[in-house]
Structures are given as C-alpha cells and as structure tokens.
Chains A and B, each alone.
Chain A
C-alpha cells in the first residue's frame, strides 16, 4: 500500500484508558507529523519527527506521548485524556522537515472521541 495510512479510523475511549494511534508511510519520507483538527480551530501542529528525532513539540500536554521507532512509523500514545481532546488526529509525512517547500502528505486521520 502506498501513501500514509492511519489506524484506527475511529476510536472511542474513556478518560482513564490508555490507547495508541498508529501511522505508517510508504513514501520513503524522512519527516513525520501529528496534527490535531478540531471543529472551529485551524489545524494544530503537535509533534514533528525528522530522521527519527523529535524536532517540534508544540506545547502539547504530556497526556499525549509520541513515538517514532523508524522513519516509516509514528505512534501517538494517549492516556488520561480529557473530553476536549476529542478531535480528528492527522498524521502526515514529507521528504525532509528542513527542506522548505516540501509538501505534506496526509493520512485519513483517526477520529477520537473521549467520553
């Protein structure tokens, strides 16, 4: 499969649960991103990994924990979330975070609902 794949597509979790979102890219890219998309807010950058090293943490609460074991895989570990964390979480990849003009390729997202 080509492109950026995210699993699961939908996730419902309680505030005391622990879950993980997964992202995989088959484009040979070196940068991977997590974005949060809420209703009434622009896309918010959460984390960036470039060549497996975290290069951006956009003041994200510690209840969100990213992991990038290699350039093709990215995880977002979730624990003790709040209802306001309900949103669409988008994964993206690009050739290289430091290369300006390099477009992002997005996955379909995981729709997260925190109850």
Chain B
C-alpha cells in the first residue's frame, strides 16, 4: 500500500533562509509525486508535480528513488511562502496525501 510521511508537522525559518520540507514515501512501483499547498484562507492547490520537472514560485522537488524521497526546496524563503504543504503520492490510480507540514516564514 502507498504511504507518505512528512516528518515535520511544523517548520519555521527566517526570510531569506533556505527551506526544505521533507517527504518520504513507500510504494512498490513507480509513483507519480506531487506537492500541494494551502495558503491562509485559500483552497488546497497543486504547487508542483514531479512529472513536469518544473519550478514554481522558486520551489523545486527532486525525486530520489534510492531514498524514496521527494523533498521540496527553496533557496531563499519569502514571507508569502507561509502555508500548509502536503506531499502526495499516486500509485496505479489512488492519490495518497501526507499529514502536511505547516511552514512559517519569520520576518
């Protein structure tokens, strides 16, 4: 069965500092991986997906198949990055979410 672990429930960094939100997954096949974000008073929305190899709002995520990780990174955090971040793994069809990490960027 698919499982997603986000080990940090809360993460606080200063503006301008690097950010890394951790995500580890378990799935026996080749999964599709996503990061979703929920800003204050907004709906949950897609941030980026592995299949697109994209950088959104300065964030990137690299799939490490050996470590089964898909950590989300940004070199210089901005205050508007404060939000709830969810890692998600899709196996054959079903999308499974992690518990989420609340990121707070301090001025």
Write the residues of chain A forming the contact surface with B, with a CB cutoff of 8 angstroms. 4, 41-43, 45, 48, 55-56, 90, 97-98, 100-101, 103-109
A104 to chain B: which residues have CB within 8 Å? 36, 46, 95
Q: Contact at B100–A42, with CB atoms within 8 Å?
A: yes
Q: Contact at A56–B94, with CB atoms within 8 Å?
A: yes
Beyond A101-B32, A101-B90, A106-B44, 9 additional contacts (C-beta under 8 Å) are A41-B99, A55-B93, A100-B92, A103-B34, A104-B36, A104-B46, A106-B45, A108-B43, A109-B43
B98 to chain A: which residues have CB within 8 Å? 42
Q: Contact at B44–A90, with CB atoms within 8 Å?
A: yes
How many chain-B residues does the 8 Å CB contact rule pick out?
21
Q: Contact at A43–B86, with CB atoms within 8 Å?
A: yes
For A97, the closest partner residue in chain B by CB is: B93
Complex Cα–Cα for A104 and B35 (A): 11
Rounded to whole Å, the gap between the CB of B96 and the closest CB of chain A is 8
